[in-house]
Each structure stands twice: as C-alpha cells, then as structure tokens.
Chains A and B, each alone.
Chain A
Amino acid sequence: MAFVQNVPFFSIMLSMFSGIVSSILPGKAAKRLNTAVILVIGAASAWLLSWLMRTGGSFTFMMGHFPAPWGNEIRAGALEAGMALFFCVIMLLSMLGGRKKLFDEVEVTKHNIYYILTDLLLSSLLALVYTNDLFTAYVFVEINTIAACGLIMIRQNGRTIEAAVRYMIMSLLGSGLLLMGICMLYDLTGHLLMSNIKESVAAIMAAGTYQIPLTITIGLVTVGLAIKSALFPFHAWLPDAYGYSTVSSAAMLSSLVSKGYIFLLIKIFYCVVGFDIIVGSKIPNVLFLFGLSGMIFGSISAIWEKDIRRMIAFSSVAQIGYIYMGFGLGTTEGMVASIFHILAHAATKSLLFVSAIGLTDVSAGSRNFFDLTGSAYRNKVAGVGFSVGAMSMVGIPLFSGFVSKLLFAEAAVMHPTHKMMPTLIVLAVSTILNAIYFLKTVVRIYVPEKREVEAEKGYFTMKAGQQRLYTITIILFILINLVLGMMSEPIIGIIETGLIHFI
C-alpha cells in the first residue's frame, strides 16, 4: 500500500481533531489552526489526486482490521480526491473573504466556536466524500447539519435564530427520510457497505423480486437528500439562512453544505444502487421536473427580491435546479454536466456572497437594491468581483457558468428521448431570467451616485490598499472562475475518469 493512500483517513481525522483542540484554544490560535488545517488537507488532496491520475483507478481503505463485509471502509478515486481539494480551496477563500466581517458581527468570545464549527463542517464534508459505508454517511450527514446550523446562528439576532430553526426542521425531515431509506435498503440487502449493497441489488433485480420496496427505498433516499440540498419545492428555509448569516457562513452554506449532500446522492446513484437501475426506476424523471421548475421559479423569485443577499440566495435555488435537471436527464453526459456545475456554482456563488458584502459595507450597511447605486465605484474590488460572478452565473464565455451551460445543452441534444426540447427551452428561458436580475444589479452598482446623496447617507470609499486580504481573496476567486471557464478540458477529464471508476 502506498503511503499516499492514507490521505483520506488522515484528512478526516485531522480536521475533526483540530475542531476538538480548538475548543480549548483562544480565538486567534483557533483561526491559525483552522487555516493551517485547511491548507494541509488541500495540499494532501492535491497529492492524492495527482497520484490517482497517474496510476488510474480507485482504492478502498480498511478502517481497523476487519475485512470487507464487517469492517468500515473508505474509498477514494479521482472524483473524490478532486472534490476534497475543491472543497478545501473554496472553504479557505470563503473564510478569508469573510474574516473582517466576522469580527464585526460575532462576539469575540464566540470566535473559537466558529472555527470549531468550520473544522467539523470540513471533516463531515470529507467523510461524505470518501466514505464507503451508508450508515457512516448518515451520521456525517447529521454532523454536517448541526455544524451548518451553528454557522447560521453564530451571528445572534432574531432573524438568524428563526432561520436556523427553519433550516433544522427541513433538514431533519430530510434526514428522517434518508435514515428510513437506508434502513430499508439494509433490510433488502443485508449490507451497509456500498459495494456489497450494489452486488445484492443487482441480484435482487436479476431475480425480479422486491421491485416495489426497492423503488420506494430509492425514492426515500433521493427525496431525503433533495430536501436537504434545497431542491425547488423544499427551499423555503434557504433565503433567510443564506441572507442573514455572516458572510463566510453564507458562502460556505451555499457552496459546500448543499453540495456535500448532492455528492452523496451521486455516490448513492453510482456506487450503491447502480446507475442503470436508477434510470430504470423512473425517479430521475421526477427530479427532472422539479429541477426544471426550480430553474424558472428560483429565478423569478430572485427578480422580485429587493435585498441583494436574498437575491443571491434565490439564485442558488435556480442553480440547484440546474444540477438536479442534469441528474434527471439520466445519461452520463448529464451527470458530467451536473458535477461540473457543482464546481462552477460553488466557485461563483461564494464569490458573489463575498463581493456583495463589500458592496453593502460601503453603502452604510444597507442591502437594499436601490441603495447600492454607484457602490462599485466606492469599492472597486468588490464591484469587479460581483460583475465577474454575475457574468459567470448568466453564462458569458470565459467564465465557468458558460462551460456548465454548454455541457447541459450538449447533454440535452445528445439525449435519446423527448427530454431534449424541454431542457433546451427551459435552459434558454432561465438564462434570460438570470441575465435580467444579475445584469440589472451590475448596471445598478455602476451607475454613479450624486455626491450630496453619498455624503448625506454616510457612504464612504474603500480602496484596495485598505483591505488587502479581501482584495487577494477576490482576485483568487476570479482566477478560479477563469480556470474553470477556460481550462475546463482537464477538469472534465477528471470528472469522466472519476465516474468510470465509480462503477
């Protein structure tokens, strides 16, 4: 066994233990430890990714000394390592971008708690990415939920507590369904490890028995994870949770937490049940419908919204709709497009949240759309960041959103059945709706405001030199977006090899 194969296990343990150690550290030390841990895990995941790309294939890692049907296992392939690396990068940038705001909004005594929650969030995300055991996945789903709830309510006001309660209620409904599904799957197959379940499910399908319980089980798991990742009809908690929490939390919730659940769902589709059986169960058709309606209704809600943070949050609903629409196509091309969109959306949405906070800060803290007039001149870095994010979400070439839209359109055109036309039409309509609210905002922030109004409302100008860390963060975010947009070939290559080794 090569030494690099220990990376998945050590990255989960490292982040978890750093969370435990942080509980006795003062805020500043916890901050340094958190940054160091994310950097180390990111570097290790990059190493693992390069090793896996060189050797090809995937491997399973035995936890403890019990072999397959009894012990717990970790499994890593190119896709898992790539996701871990990407999650680390986005988490690091979100933390850096919101650091100043964290000091303003959260009491100093609570700072180390914030870093404990981030460490736990990272470890649960990594466990969701790497685990090969369904019940372990359930436990880490719950840890993820609890950590996310803490991230929402670390900023103490009525709104965030209410948002946290609503988030918990929806999440618990989802995890209840997920748990029931996992238990029924265990009863049907007698296993908890993903690879063993897959063999048993194939045997069940070949024997032609238990068809209805199997379909119900797949449905329960899918709906549970869809509720947790805020697919369209279940998104009521999302705008408050993303809109009122502190900015690092909002960026991490939108780009990491919901993506962790979606990645688990992909894993269940490929490694637990088998993609052909999923397509045969017709459940992707349901996801397809909800995805399409999410793309439209999320965008419409965003157009009506006057609060910029809530507008970006509603845009997330539309983008989650895109991802589920790709699942709904039920082809490998659709899955590749969805996974690329997970990356593109995570990179762009965290950039949008972080740059929106720069714009609202120089507008006397007001988040109202009309108060943001001319704010891009008052904070040039944030203005550029917001424009890049907006253009990426609309799907303008050079940026990441364009590539994912292109992949979705290709997947739709290559689709063998009647799903082609609805996909293309809704894709076009949704792009126009995206353009309406994002470009409207970009134009608004670049319309100059009168000097007397600025003086009267207490607006001020923030230069790049006064906010070095923030500027560096925004530049790195823009670079990631450009890399995803212009060098998409190798990334799509990693996704495709990863999906092949998933089976």
Chain B
Amino acid sequence: MFGSNLLPNLGEVVAMILFGIGFANLLLQKNLIKKIIGLNIMDTAVYLFLAIKGYIEGRSAPIVVDGVQEVEAYINPIPSGLVLTGIVVSVSVTALMLSLTVRLYKRYHTLDLDEISSRLKKEGI
C-alpha cells in the first residue's frame, strides 16, 4: 500500500524535509545570516538522518558498564562517529562564513548580498 512505509520511517522523512528547508534557505535567502542559518539546518538534518539510521530500537549506547559484551545489546556506533566528524566540519565552515559576513558588513553596512553586488558594480574596481 502506498504510504505504508511512511510511519516506520517518520524520522527519515522529517530529516529529508529539514534538509530541503535548509538547502532552499541557503540557496534563496538574500540575507547572509539567514543563509548561514539555512546551512546549519541543512547540516543538522544530515546528522539527524545519520543518528536515526544508527539507532536500533531497544538497545543502548555501546559502552560496556555491566559486563554485557554481545553485539545484540548495542546500537551501531559508526553513524555517531560520523556525526561527530560532521559537526566539527560544519562548525568550522560556519565560523568561516560568519567571519566573512562580518568583513562584508564592516565594509558595506548591509547583509544583503545582492545589494553588495550591485554596489560593487557601481564602484567598478
């Protein structure tokens, strides 16, 4: 039946919708800060997707505390590792984008990228 896969995969669907929202914001917003917010929504959606994919119902984090060593007791830890790596990358990229935005704002006193472009054309360096 159409849509029967929807409920078991609700988390993935939400992640995809968030990814789309973030992507559209990064692409279409004029305001640089809103663009950066879009970037963060997009990246976070990917991490949500990974975390959901790594989680297995009824199991716990793979840290041995009570002597249980069977694989069946734990979730898949690799996606969590990927999320950590991804967070490092996205933090550094966000910092770089914010610093560029500060530079542009100090020079042109606006956050609108299109207006900056049109002013640059008038300057004609």
Contacts and interface: CB of A to CB of B under 8 A. Distances in A.
Given A146-B92, A158-B107, A168 B46 contact: no
A162 B114 CA distance: 10
Contacts of B100: 149, 153, 161, 164-165, 168
A99 interface: no
Contacts of B123: 158
Contact of A176 (B46, B101, B107): B46
A244 B121 CA distance: 13
B113 interface: yes
Contacts of A186: 53, 78-79, 82
Contacts of A169: 26-27, 35
| Interface size class of chain A, counting residues whose CB lies under 8 Å from the partner chain | 20 to 34
A183 B82 contact: yes
A68 to B, nearest CB: 15
Interface in B84-125: 85-86, 89, 92-93, 96-97, 100-101, 103-104, 107-108, 113, 116-117, 120, 123, 125
A164 B99 CA distance: 11
A159 interface: yes
Contact of B97 (A159, A168, A179, A183): A168
Interface of B: 19, 22-23, 26-27, 32, 35, 39, 42-43, 46, 49-50, 53, 78-79, 82, 85-86, 89, 92-93, 96-97, 100-101, 103-104, 107-108, 113, 116-117, 120, 123, 125
A167 to B, nearest CB: 10
A157 interface: yes
Contacts of A244: 125
A207 to B, nearest CB: 18
A406 interface: no
A180 interface: yes
Nearest to A170: B27
A161 B93 contact: no
6 contacts: A158-B116, A161-B104, A162-B116, A162-B117, A168-B96, A169-B27
A179 B107 CA distance: 33
Contacts of A153: 100, 103
Interface in A154-186: 157-159, 161-162, 164-166, 168-169, 172-173, 176-177, 179-180, 183, 186
Given A158-B125, A168-B96, A172-B26, A187 B53 contact: yes
B23 A158 contact: no
B23 A173 contact: yes
Closest 10 CB pairs of A and B: A142-B89, A176-B42, A187-B53, A165-B100, A161-B103, A179-B46, A159-B125, A183-B50, A158-B120, A172-B39
A398 interface: no
Contacts of A145: 93
A158, A192, A244: most-surrounded residue (chain B CB, <10 A): A158
B43, B89, B123: most-surrounded residue (chain A CB, <10 A): B89
Nearest to A149: B96
Contacts of B82: 135, 183, 186
A304 B107 CA distance: 30
A139 interface: yes
Contact of B53 (A142, A159, A179, A183): A183
Nearest to A172: B39
B86 to A, nearest CB: 7
Interface of A: 135, 138-139, 142, 145-146, 149, 153, 157-159, 161-162, 164-166, 168-169, 172-173, 176-177, 179-180, 183, 186-187, 192, 244
B113 A183 contact: no
Contacts of A159: 120, 125
Nearest to A177: B23
Given A146-B92, A162-B104, A183 B49 contact: yes
Nearest to B86: A179
Contacts of B107: 158, 161
Given A149-B96, A183-B53, A139 B19 contact: no
A173 B42 CA distance: 9
Contacts of A139: 85, 89
A36 to B, nearest CB: 28
Given A161-B107, A168-B100, A180 B49 contact: yes
A180 B23 CA distance: 11
A439 to B, nearest CB: 28
Nearest to A145: B93
Nearest to B45: A180
Contacts of A176: 19, 22-23, 26, 39, 42-43, 46
Contacts of A142: 89, 92-93
A434 to B, nearest CB: 27
A135 B26 CA distance: 23
Contacts of A138: 89
Given A168-B100, A183-B46, A135 B53 contact: no
A356 to B, nearest CB: 17
Given A157-B125, A180-B19, A183-B50, A172 B120 contact: no
Contacts of A162: 104, 113, 116-117, 120
Contacts of A166: 113
B3 to A, nearest CB: 16
A135 B93 contact: no
Nearest to B39: A172
